[in-house]
Amino acid sequence: QVQLVESGGGLVQAGGSLRLSCVASGRTVSGYAMGWFRQAPGKEREFVAAISGSGVLIYYTDSVKGRFTISRDNAKNTVYLQMDSLKPEDTAVYYCAAKLGSYIYTPAGFGSWGQGTQVTVSS
């Protein structure tokens, strides 16, 4: 089973940028699709972005298209989420997760959750 640790969160003003990292251990992540999720207080967890093991297939939820970029470096067992033009509504705890298989367009099947990293965007 893969273990995941997120980092890179923080406090940023609206319009600013952050880059989140998710480092995996225990297994080589090249065989896993990786996803980023977020959960704001009082809201359900939201599926934000995902990338296939090869990096060829990428998914974004509509609210982050054009602002967020997911990428991965399999040599470093790391997945990134570059977040630009941040908005207050992006405030949430961000989690990464992994799943076997290449179908990345649904949150179903993602597991091995990390502990999360807090992103706070001030207006």
Report pLDDT digits (tens) over 64-122: 999 999 999 999 999 999 999 999 999 999 999 999 977 899 999 999 998 999 999 99
Token pair listed for 68? 């967020």
pLDDT of residue 87: 98
Side-chain-side CA neighbours of 97 within 13 Å: the count stands at 23
Instruction: Give pLDDT, residue 27.
Output: 77
- pLDDT higher at 111 or 38: 38
Cα-based distances in Å from 33 to 17, 18, 85, 107, 113: 24, 22, 26, 11, 13
DSSP 111: B
Give residue 5's pLDDT.
96
